[in-house]
Amino acid sequence: MDSITSLQNPKVKAVVSLQQKSSERRKQGLFVVEGLREVQHCLEAGYQIDSAYLCPTLLGTETFHTEAPCYEVTPEVYEKMAYRGGTEGIVAVVKARAHALETLKLGKAPLIIVLESVEKPGNLGAILRSADAAKADAVIVCDPLTDLYNPNLIRSSIGAIFTVPCVACTSEECIRFLKERGIKILTAQLQDSHLYYDTDMRRGTAIVMGTESTGLTEQWRKAADAHIRIPMLGRLDSLNVSVSAAILLYEAVRQRQSSNPMM
């Protein structure tokens, strides 16, 4: 295993560039994953590693095996390359894959989260964790304002970006996809809506959420089969979108566990 000790090494600069620039990630078709657990989830999802950088001081007794080129780095070099601290001493450069709606493998009564124009990668990462916990079939990001390989998204999802099928597309494409498959569209909104726990989520369901600042566009409101809301009993009128997603996902789980799905 070759060693890298200089902060000016071209490979170090290349990793930093991938971490910081979405344009570079798109251009090279590569992205960066940090942490042993996250890298393992990535491999289990079928991704291929382009190269890996290991810091023995941080990695400790943990072992990692790959046929891709591996480099041993010093703690100083690792700190330069890593997006965050405490990631078990491994940084992997991974080959990106194209994700499309048509590649989604949905269950008999799929449960899907749809996010329109998500702004913060941290929120998307948290929603992916909830989607994994609720065993949702997919997360669809419409008209995204962040790319799916943003390092903060990968970090905040703790690898759920690899355990939950996640695709990006336009709202028009997503609406057509859901309608063609008879999947019920439920839009989370305050206006003209019913309480979420009074709405049937046992059949194939897509829960659609917008940004915290502006909510959903009229396009989604018109496409909806029903509008749902979470009761707000205090003085504020909104929840963090990741919290709202978790509440609605687990209501679907509750309904499906209490009776057989309605097809």
Pairing of strands 138-142, 166-169: parallel
DSSP state of 202: S
State the pLDDT at residue 263. Answer: 40
Q: Where in the chain is the domain with CATH 3.30.1330.30?
A: 2-95
Q: What is the pLDDT of residue 249?
A: 98
- Beta-carbon contacts of 41 under 8 Å, excluding residues fewer than 6 positions away, are 159, 160, 162, 163
Dihedral sign from CA coordinates of 188, 191, 195, 198: negative
Whole-prediction pTM: 0.89
Average pLDDT per block of 10 residues along the chain, 263 residues long: 94 96 95 91 93 90 84 94 78 92 92 92 94 97 87 91 94 97 94 92 96 84 95 85 96 89 45
- Residue 212 near residue 238 (C-beta atoms within 8 A): yes
Q: How far apart are the first and last CA of the chain?
A: 56
Per DSSP bridges, beta strands 90-95 and 30-34 are: antiparallel
Torsion angle in degrees (nearest 10) through CA of 246, 249, 133, 45: -110
Measured CA to CA, the distance from residue 18 to residue 55 in angstroms comes to 19
Classified by CATH at the fold level, domain 101-258 comes out as Alpha/beta knot (3.40.1280)
CATH for 2-95 (3.10.20.70, 3.30.1330.30, 3.40.50.300, 3.40.50.1460): 3.30.1330.30
16, 93 Cβ separation under 8 angstroms: no
Taking the mean position of all CA atoms in its chain, how far away is CA 121? 8
Residue ranges, comma separated, of all CATH 3.40.1280.10 domains in the chain are: 101-258
Residues near 18 by beta carbon (within 8 Å), at least 6 away in sequence: 24, 25, 28, 30, 31, 32, 93
CA distance readout (Å), 26 to 30, 97, 173, 206, 215: 7, 11, 22, 29, 28
Which pLDDT does position 261 carry in this prediction?
A: 46
What 3-state DSSP class applies to 229? strand
Residue type, 245: A
Bridge partners of residue 194, in order along the sequence: 228
The span from the CA of 124 to the CA of 128, in Å, is: 6
